[in-house]
Amino acid sequence: MTPRLDEIAIALGNAQLDGWLFYDFRLSDPLAYRILGLSEDGIATRRWFCFVPARGTPRAIVSAVEAHRLDAIAVEKIVYRSHDEMIGALRKVLEGVRRIAMDYSPGCAIPYVSRVDAGTIELVRAIGVEVVSAADLIQRFEATLTREQLESHQRAAHALRSIVDETFSEIAESISAQRSISEVSVQESVMARFAARGLVTHAPPILAVNEHSADPHYGPTTKHDRAIRRGDFILLDLWAKETGPDSIYADFTWVAFAGDKIPDEHARVFKIVADARDATVDLVQRRVAAGDAVSGREA
């Protein structure tokens, strides 16, 4: 087995699972591709399975139409030519298996994880196999950052923090000098600062004034552009990363008031949010220090 498959097998044994059944149809599960180290390039029009056991040899089930789909991981393959042959291959691969993980989430509680359709889960359960969520395994093999990824995230965060200060200074100077400035013009200047620092983003930042700040994922446009004036409430939400293929995004949301004194209501609401943030950080730090589990939902 490859080092990654060996590592998965060890984790399955520790979790008291007989195996992890990966499944994909038309690139429906990008997690499976990333965890197994498969390329998403090329034609993918047929169903495939890859079973990684806690003990034994991993095996794949692929269509004769795309028999080479899983060649990159060099596992034993069963090729099917019909639906009945696919079901028969699945029964053979799962023979003697009692409890396995698949990329699904009960009740779709974690939609990022819920990649396998209900019908396929039913198909596996009908064979007599218990299916549990692979969420914890996915967290280990997909959501754990390498040192290089963490460092890329920290560099991006440092750059974004500077951009926040520069952006608010630009707004303050423009208002003081009575120069025209708006949501769109500030958004454009933030994008220019990204480029100057070698950062990229999948979508432009959000610059939202007054009631626009209450519109989740608001995007300023020339049609709905709002001038920024003294006394305005301003929200700046920005995210970016370095250009490397494994770089990790940094993401900040900051608010500001364009005036000499923050209104009492703004300050009151901000304190509620800041106290909630601090309570969350405190919870995580206390639990980790004590060696106790903590979930995102609890935080």
- The enclosing domain of 188 has a CATH number of 3.90.230.10
User: What pLDDT score was predicted for residue 131?
Assistant: 98
Same domain, 8 and 121: yes
Same domain, 9 and 138: yes
What band does 296 get if pLDDT is binned at 50, 70 and 90?
confident
Residue 298, domain member (yes or no):
no
Same domain, 117 and 197: no
> Which CATH number does the domain housing residue 119 bear?
3.40.350.10
Same domain, 134 and 187: no
| Count of C-beta atoms within a 10 Å radius of residue 119 | 7
pLDDT reading at 275 higher than 90:
yes
pLDDT digits (tens, 9 = 90+) for 153-195: 999 999 999 999 999 999 999 999 999 999 999 999 999 999 9
From 102, 126, 142, the end of a domain falls on 142
Residue 182's closest CA among 220, 235, 239?
220
From 111, 142, 173, the end of a domain falls on 142
Same domain, 71 and 129: yes
| Count of C-beta atoms within a 10 Å radius of residue 90 | 22
Contact 257, 234 (CB under 8 A): yes
Packing angle between helix 147-176 and helix 183-196, nearest 10 degrees? 140
pLDDT digits (tens, 9 = 90+) for 93-122: 999 999 999 999 999 999 999 999 999 999
| Total domains, the chain | 2
Enclosing domain of residue 171: 147-260
Same domain, 133 and 157: no
Output the average pLDDT for the chain.
95
Residue 219, domain member (yes or no):
yes
Residue 191, domain member (yes or no):
yes
Residue 270, domain member (yes or no):
no
Same domain, 97 and 218: no
Same domain, 155 and 136: no
The partner residues of 102 in beta bridges, in order of sequence, read 133
10 alpha carbon, distance to own chain's centre: 25
Same domain, 7 and 138: yes
Residue 276, domain member (yes or no):
no
Same domain, 126 and 154: no
From 96, 113, 142, the end of a domain falls on 142
Residue 286, domain member (yes or no):
no
Sign of torsion over alpha carbons 207, 212, 214, 220: negative
What band does 61 get if pLDDT is binned at 50, 70 and 90?
very high
Residue 299, domain member (yes or no):
no
Same domain, 15 and 106: yes
φ, ψ dihedrals at 126, nearest 5°? -65, -20
Same domain, 101 and 165: no
Residue 279, domain member (yes or no):
no
What band does 232 get if pLDDT is binned at 50, 70 and 90?
very high
| Count of C-beta atoms within a 10 Å radius of residue 135 | 19
User: What pLDDT score was predicted for residue 1?
Assistant: 59
Q: Which residues contact 263 (CB under 8 A, 6 or more apart)?
A: 257
Diameter of the chain measured on Cα atoms: 77
